[in-house]
Amino acid sequence: MALFSRRGTGGDTTPAASDPVEAPEASEGPGASEAPAEPVPQVGISISTFGQGPESARPLADEEPSAALPVTPRAAEAPPEVTQSVPGLPDNVLLQHALRALPADPEPPHIMNVMRQAMQGQLYVRAQGDAQELLAAGRGLNLAITTFQDKRFLLVFSGGESVQASAQAESGGQTSALGQAAYNVLRTAIDSGYDGIYLDHTNEGARLVLPIELVTKAVEQGAPAPFELKNILVRARSEGTVGDVAEILTRVPVWVAGNRDAEGRIGLAEARGDGGIRRLEVYSHPLEVIAMGRGDGPLPLTPEQLGRTLASEPGLTGIVVDPAGPWIELDRDALAPVLALAG
């Protein structure tokens, strides 16, 4: 078991500070801006290590698997429409939904759901002063953080409204919203030595601290191309989306949901429908498997292994990618480029 925990014991944070950083990577130095004192919510996380080794992944036929594992009720297929609570700053709607769904005392599954949605789309940080002018002048940016019991947390926002609320709660000077790909923001938090990220800290009931151990694990145990497959699934769909997904699957690893029966045989999760439809569940990140809440283990597959898995089971009519949503289905014909890797 891997135990990740960052717990507070109550009380207020010290005034928020900002460290000069070179976007998108951070570096240390003097300088500070004031932010309201906020208690960091208690966050305790205990989950199984979700990045199992590639030796655990084998084509279906190699293990004579037990009956396919059941699929949970399907989430929404297409991503929600993107909103702009502040004109010009698109909201990360999926992350906002995950934060708003948090109970008063979040359990690990709720935290994992927020973590998976924090890995897609765009996130925002606050910079002191005019970010465009500072960057044009080749100067570093002071990013807003908060501190709690000698721990430092990067303030991260899901949209313009939460950035505005944070800025309005301060008495400081000019502030800028800096939007970046989620991977860049998470990587900045890791490389800068922060103890975690504080998501939408002014939104009581819809805010959460993610400890840096979890953030690091999520970033470093995903696919080498930063969240490429996940990001395409959260964009508006077009006629070319299926082909784009199939092409990505020829280049990046994926995960399948596996479990063992009483006899030790491996069973891989399938989604089954009318007319003999059998789709292998495929996931863009191991956390997507955990988000299903079935206790399955994420098993990694290289593109070649995925091709061999599909080739070894001609009864599979295709795959469904990220069943926890947003998801997409690919029929066997669309998977021809992946099947070609089977050799």
Let me know how many helices (H) and strands (E) the chain has, helices first.
12, 17
Nearest-angstrom CA–CA distance, 197 and 185:
9
Per-position DSSP letters for 137-158, written without gaps between them: TT--EEEEEEEETTEEEEEEBS
59 in the same domain as 44: no
Domain end (from 220, 235, 254): 220
Nearest-angstrom CA–CA distance, 103 and 213:
22
266 in the same domain as 135: no
175 in the same domain as 44: yes
Total domain count, the chain: 2
105 in the same domain as 13: yes
Residue 169's Cα: distance from chain center in Å?
Answer: 28
70 in the same domain as 29: no
Q: How many other β-carbons are positioned within 10 Å of the β-carbon of residue 60? A: 22
296 in the same domain as 167: no
CB 82 within 8 A of CB 158: no
Residue 179's Cα: distance from chain center in Å?
Answer: 16
16 in the same domain as 151: yes
- In order along its 343 residues, the chain shows pLDDT tens digits of 221 122 222 333 222 333 333 333 332 332 334 344 455 444 444 333 344 444 444 444 444 444 444 444 457 788 889 999 999 999 999 999 999 999 998 988 899 999 999 999 999 998 876 656 656 656 666 788 898 888 999 999 999 999 989 888 876 667 778 899 999 999 999 999 999 999 999 999 999 999 999 999 999 988 777 889 999 999 999 999 999 999 999 999 999 998 777 777 778 888 888 888 899 999 999 999 988 888 888 999 999 999 999 999 999 999 999 999 999 999 999 999 999 999 7
Range of the domain at 248: 54-75+226-342
Nearest-angstrom CA–CA distance, 14 and 12:
6
Residue with tokens 């004031």: 34
172 in the same domain as 38: yes
Domain end (from 220, 237, 267): 220
Q: Which ranges constitute the DSSP H helices of 23-176?
A: 60-63, 93-100, 108-117, 131-136, 160-168
162 in the same domain as 33: yes
Nearest-angstrom CA–CA distance, 338 and 247:
8
Domain end (from 192, 220, 248): 220
Q: Which of 90, 42, 85 is nearest to 208 (CA)?
A: 42
Q: Which of 131, 102, 139 is nearest to 118 (CA)?
A: 102
